[in-house]
Structure 1
């Protein structure tokens, strides 16, 4: 290196040393803007979730024909309980059919299902996915065979008025419906935190969104769609993550997704950290893939005024709530040690996020058991960090979450 090169190199190093405080401030402000945008977004929708519901569906004068689909991959422990809850509906028996899509279930379970008033469809796929199971089942029906299709998981349990209430919403014009998923088990710290996480999402991404005029987010089960629409669009789905793919199709077609907060789908929560890790890995991979696919649609969605779709893409850009909370704590503590004045805005952001969570969590989960479960949060945060390095390929294969039955 000649003398001029060495001189300019020294100047560059010298400039970075002299301006390191300015550089750190700029980087800090950019990162802070990203965090405060996500927090403000969550806070606004959490506040709107507190508004009273203004739309109440009147009893329908017509009983629609329902098809209930239950994909069941090795779900021998829970499937019978789910089916029995559906057989107890106070809806005309001739107006709904239940189909269990069996994938690798035991003969003993299949014999018990055959004794019930349902139909079992067998799936023999090399690579099992929920998408393939639903496509296989829907291929057996022509258009107009039913009016509405309901999708449930094999561990879901519903109340006797479940189909009746969905029928009321559909009769009033709801083409796409998400019911309120509730935990049916709170027997471990992980299950409690999983239930809290889902209720926070219910408040922000479902109740709060609908209150503000946006579509509800789908959640994977407890969903209902117009039968013909679902038959046409289920064949368009590819990778795992049925709910998110359906969301994209619905929002692109400007079909509003309703949220029925008083119609409950009881769902089994993960009980161990290993199940939490696998489940969140699948969810994170699906979110990342959907963001990558849909991000290019954002300019068109903005210019065409498709605000529902814009909102969904923005949602996928934000980090998971556990990650957001954990990173905020780490950054706030780090700045407290290095520069307490800079840390103030980070502590304020953390307080707003905690207030958002408090607003979003229903009263039944604010108890001593939930407080004790908080000791698991740092460990679950670490698992989420690890998940970010293991999402490759997770959206292309089915990662099964085993259910114990409750």
Structure 2
């Protein structure tokens, strides 16, 4: 750790921003743990953005070496909270590092993020991973995140293109983040920021060993609502950015931006896998029916769909970390049909999903629960 600090050219000053809405259950412990970084204490400040916190929570936070910025909105949004906070705290920072109110960092995260900035990057995503694996849908949520980490973050960087942002555990040049966030007022603010900065030519780095623990939803309702909101936001971004992305690719060779735009229409893995399985099954029945004349009306045929399903399944299996290959994960996978049905139904109610503020309650403060 010390050698890494000595090698960097500059120890940047971090604003660790933790926006929270009614997060009384977890915020005090999370804020305390955020102060325990091995980074020089005078080079980072933990700032809790408190939206609708109880008085006793605020009193407990004021006893910690953190700054508390209280905000009140008629309609709460993470983007509003971040913008208001940066308006209040000023510009005496080099990096804005965003945490969710349930996130716990390993002690060397800021050191590793600073080293990435030293390599010339202005936007860096850390490795967000599951804090809790104590329910079937928490495991499915964790699997989804690790697949995304492997393909859209680590894999993309190996290919020389930008990592995806994920909304927390991410650090951006403070001036860049403040300027970009000033133009953002959406539910999926991380994707909007991602598209805007990549459009400008910035490359987003991914640091796989900068670990941030994130609480995974245990309830099927929360699991589906989250993804319904994400799908709605991503479809909005695809519609508003497709033409710009295509033109930027053709005229300027900005494949990075075009790639991000195309990612916006990719369905969640649970929907993709479930749909391919159902199509393979249905076309298999048609293929083996004793009516050859009927088969000509269905193309591609059964083996094409089966091959696509198998290839997708193999790709997803390769993207899952080895530690998830156990009995607990197998049992959690039995909940996939339920998740697929609920998510398919939720698509019928996707209209207006980005207009609603959906708060996900958190109940695991600082403990890491993998049992």
Shared fold (TM-score, shorter chain, > 0.5)? yes
Q: After the TM superposition, list the runs of 4 or more consecutive aligned residues in structure 1 that deviate by more than 3 angstroms.
A: 56-59
Q: Distance in 1 between matches of 2:64 and 2:308?
A: 54
Tell me by how many angstroms 1:248 deviates. 1.0
Q: Deviations over 1:236-263 (max 9, x none)?
A: 0021111101011111101000000010
Name 2:60's counterpart in structure 1.
112
Q: Deviations over 1:275-330 (max 9, x none)?
A: 11221121111111111111221331221211001101111122221111011111
* Alignment partner of 1:163 out of 85, 101, 110: 110
Secondary structure of 2:216's match?
coil
SS of 2:149's equivalent in the other structure is: helix
Pick aligned residue for 1:152 from 84, 90, 99: 99
1:195 is aligned, of 142, 149, 161, to 142
Whether contact under 8 Å (2:5, 2:111) holds in the other structure is: no
1:378 pairs, out of 337, 345, 353, with 337
- What residue number does 2:181 align with? 234
Structure 1's unaligned 5+ residue stretches are: 1-55
Q: 8 Å contact 2:164–2:194 — kept in the other structure?
A: yes
Match of 1:220 among 164, 167, 170: 167
- List per-residue Cα deviations over 1:54-110 (Å, max 9, x = no partner): xx9984142111101000101111112211221111111111111100011111111
| Aligned residue number for residue 177 of structure 1 | 124
Q: Provide the residue aligned with 2:193 in structure 1.
A: 246
RMSD (CA atoms)? 1.5
C-alpha deviations, 1:325-346, integer Å up to 9, x for none?
Answer: 0111111111111124821111
Q: Deviations over 1:137-192 (max 9, x none)?
A: 0112444x111110000000011111111111112211000000010100001000
Whether contact under 8 Å (1:291, 1:313) holds in the other structure is yes
Cα 1:57–1:359, aligned 2, differ >3 Å: closer, same or farther?
farther
Kept in 1, the 8 Å contact 2:79–2:184? The answer is yes
Kept in 2: contact 1:57–1:172 (CA 8 A): no
Q: Does 1:356 align with 2:302?
A: no
Deviates more, 1:356-365 or 1:315-324: 315-324
Task: Report the equivalent of 2:356.
Answer: 397
CA distance in 1, matches of 2:35, 2:5: 24
Question: Normalised by the size of structure 2, how large is the TM-score?
Answer: 0.92
